[in-house]
Amino acid sequence: MRKEQILSKSPEETKAFGKRLAKTLHKGDILCLFGDLGSGKTTLIKGIAQGLGVNETKVNSPTFVLLNIYEGARTLYHFDLYRLEDLKGISSIGYDEFLYGNGVSVIEWADRLGEFLPDEYLKIEMKHKSSEERIIKISKKGN
Ligand SMILES: Nc1ncnc2c1ncn2[C@@H]1O[C@H](COP(=O)(O)OP(=O)(O)OP(=O)(O)O)[C@@H](O)[C@H]1O
Ligand SMILES: [Mg+2]
pLDDT tens-place string over residues 82-135: 988 777 767 666 667 777 677 999 999 999 888 888 889 999 999 999 999 999
pLDDT in tens, 8-23: 999 999 999 999 999 9
Q: Is 41 in the pocket of ligand 1 (CB under 6 A)?
A: yes
Q: Is 43 in the pocket of ligand 1 (CB under 6 A)?
A: yes
Expressed in angstroms and rounded, the spacing between residue 21 Cα and the centre of ligand 2 is: 18
Q: Is 4 in the pocket of ligand 1 (CB under 6 A)?
A: no
| Ligand 1 atom having least distance to the Cα of 37 | 25
CA distance linking residue 33 with residue 106, whole number of Å? 7
How many CB atoms within 10 Å of residue 23? 9
Ligand nearest to the CA of 14: 1
